[in-house]
Structure 1
């Protein structure tokens, strides 16, 4: 075992997209459900969950619908 493998690595915080996807699935919502509720398209919600879209208003709208707005505000970007 080399010295590098003995160094403890800090835990990696989930991305904003991962938090959105996790919250959606935990609530049993489909992509269609979230899209309809937020007024976004399924493609836009998917892009947010895949960290391919960083539009702050879309993130806030989706996080609010999923009840995790405070958690998102503390998440790494």
Structure 2
């Protein structure tokens, strides 16, 4: 399924299943041309932590907020 930035903006992070939230992050990251390493450097996480969030395996609220901000999204 394809998600857009508006899908993210119209939902609270806590209301999204971790795998959906992760897929939205992955799509926005790739649309912006960021590699995992680029995003990791920007938000202060490791590439494997970001990969875990994108896969829905990691739901740490701090990680989610840092990734959202690094992607230019406002974490509700």
- Whether the TM-score (by the shorter chain) exceeds 0.5 is yes
Report what 1:29 is aligned to.
Answer: 34
Computed over aligned residues only, the root mean square deviation of the Cα atoms, in angstroms, reads 1.7
| Displacement after TM superposition at 1:58 (Å) | 0.4
| Displacement after TM superposition at 1:52 (Å) | 0.4
Measured against aligned partners, the alpha-carbon deviations of 1:24-66 in whole angstroms (never above 9, x if no partner) come to 0010000000001111011000000000000001001101110
| Displacement after TM superposition at 1:69 (Å) | 2.8
TM-score, scaled relative to structure 1: 0.70
| Displacement after TM superposition at 1:67 (Å) | 1.5
Runs (5+) with no aligned partner, structure 2: 1-15
Runs (5+) with no aligned partner, structure 1: 1-12
Distance 1:48 1:55 in 2: 8
TM-score, scaled relative to structure 2: 0.71
Q: Which has the higher helix share?
A: 2
Runs of 4+ in 1 over 4 A off after TM superposition: none
